[in-house]
Structures are given as structure tokens and as C-alpha cells.
Amino acid sequence: MKVKVFVLLFVLSAVVLSGCTGDRTTDGDVNTTDTVNDTGPDNVTTDNASNASLNETEQNGTINAEEQPTVDVPDEDTTTEGPQVIDTGVPRTYTVRLEKFLSSPNTLVIAPEDTVFWINFNDPIRAFTIVSKNGLWENRSIGYRQSFDYTFNETGTYNYSILGNPRMSGTIIVK
């Protein structure tokens, strides 16, 4: 009984202390909560130097082409559904769970140099053999609570399957 109380107090202390840490960064990154932007007319964010030229413009009512603020408009249609890949230049890691004789998610959109981990969480416990239909890797056996990872270097659509379990097949789209 004393051990349970001690563990409970330890967990509660950890939760309380994690809430006490601030959101200040110490590695040189910019903290967006610490910056303040001035907004000009029509909620256009400007810096203080361009505020002076906007104030002069408001007085005489004209804007020269070189004084107009620029707005970046994406070239692609952004109305597509689902998660969008934002290439930050840093490779990411994704996890595909092999569980309940399903592969979740069964379709994954990633960027080049990203890594996908397939982890076997199936119950009842059994090993699976993952097969690349595109020949990217040799067939690999994944035991219970074990994983297999692969880094996708080139863009394209890649399919995989689990031997003997067609519902566990999936697709990795590298954009």
C-alpha cells in the first residue's frame, strides 16, 4: 500500500513540475510567444521601418509599387484533404502499427529521407513477414514488439504487404 501511494505521489509531482517549466528556448531558436509584431492597415504584418512609409502613404493616399507589401501565395491548390507534407529539411520518422491483423495507417505520405518504422503489436502474438512489392528490401520477419525500419530516399509510390495477410498491405507515398 505504501508503495502505491509513493508511486502516485511521484507521478503527481512529475506532472506538476512539468507544468512549471516555461516555454523559453535556450538553444537559440526563436520563441514565437516572445515576439511582438506591429500590424498596419488590413492586418498586414510589417516591421517598424515600413510602418513609417505606411504612415506617409496613409497621409497622401497613394502607394508606390515598390512600397507595397508582398504576400506569398502558394503555387499549388491547397484544398486537398488529409495531412500535408511540409518539408522542413529535417528527416522525420513515422510509425506503422501492425495490430489486429491490420496495418495502421495503411497509406502514408512522407518526404524523401524520412524513415518508416513498422512495429508488430498484434494480439494474439505472432511474427509477420514484411515484403516490399517494389524490391526495396529483402523479406523481413518482425516478431512481437519488434520493428523494422526503412529510409525512403527517392520520390515515388511504394507498396508493401505482410505474407499471408492481404488486409495488412499498405502504400508509402514519397513526395
Type of residue found at 93: T
Query: pLDDT higher for 69 or 101?
Result: 101
Rounded average pLDDT over 104-109:
94
A 10 A CB-CB count for 108 gives 20
Whole-model pTM: value is: 0.50
Q: Contact, 167 vs 135, CB < 8 A?
A: no
Residue 26 lies in a domain: no
- pLDDT given for residue 117 in this prediction: 95
Rounded average pLDDT over 102-107:
93
- How many independent structural domains does the chain possess? 1
Rounded average pLDDT over 41-67:
43
Range of the domain at 143: 93-174
| 150: CATH | 2.60.40.420
- The pairing of beta strand 128-132 with beta strand 114-120: unpaired
